[in-house]
Amino acid sequence: MSHARSALRRPEAGLALVLAFAAAAVVFAALFLFGRAITPDYTATLFGHADTDAVRLKAQLATGVLGLAALQLLLALWMYRRLPGVRRVPGPVPVVHRITGVVLFALTVPIAVHCVRAYGVQLTGSRAAVHSIAGCFFYGAFAAKVLLVRSRRLPGWALPLAGGALAVAVVVLWYTSALWYFNGNSVPLLSLGHHQPGPG
């Protein structure tokens, strides 16, 4: 019976993985193409703030997202008993993990909307290009994780891979935006490439 169950689970797991990767690709492509087609409006506001005030607010929000992502990672390691010396997982841990994820995602939405409206997807200048692509990748990875977390018959590496991809995307986005702002409009390893306005 166990072999029969395993045989049934493999096609279901494979289908879940294919759907998740397809969703990630579709979301990434849709955001990328939309961002490339839009006409940037550098006067776009974020909660009533414009220009450098909007960039500063986005840097602060992005730092909050980074902190929540670190908490998400810690809670995930706790849930899967990957923290040293942890043998017991209190009931509230999974609930806090989910709530943190929802808040994290909600915080990214106004940042992303302003970025798309003000700048679109820019490929001129290494920092702007990396930031733009990472932003599209983040939402693609999020779509994949939402689909994967609903499946109970996945290989053990699937969810950690999706969660890890999201965490890496958050770090890259923060590095190319908030750190760029806090560090006087420059970041190590990525030159601006030009002095025109870019995603912040």
Asked if residue 61 belongs to a domain, the reply is: yes
Asked if residue 195 belongs to a domain, the reply is: no
Asked if residue 166 belongs to a domain, the reply is: yes
Asked if residue 188 belongs to a domain, the reply is: no
Report the percent of the chain where pLDDT is more than 90.
63
In 3-state terms, what secondary structure has residue 187? strand
Is residue 195 very low, low, confident or very high in pLDDT (cuts 50, 70, 90)?
A: very low
Q: In total, how many domains does the chain have? A: 1
Asked if residue 200 belongs to a domain, the reply is: no
Q: pLDDT at position 158, please? A: 85
Asked if residue 52 belongs to a domain, the reply is: yes
Is residue 13 very low, low, confident or very high in pLDDT (cuts 50, 70, 90)?
A: confident
In 3-state terms, what secondary structure has residue 190? strand
* Domain interval for residue 115: 2-182
Asked if residue 97 belongs to a domain, the reply is: yes
Distance CA 24, CA 51 (A): 32
Q: How far is CA 22 from CA 8, 11, 14, 68, in A?
A: 22, 16, 12, 27
Q: How confident is the model over 60-106, as pLDDT tens digits? A: 999 999 999 999 999 999 988 888 887 888 889 999 999 999 999 99
Distance CA 23, CA 150 (A): 14
pTM of the shown model: 0.86
Residues listed for the chain: 200
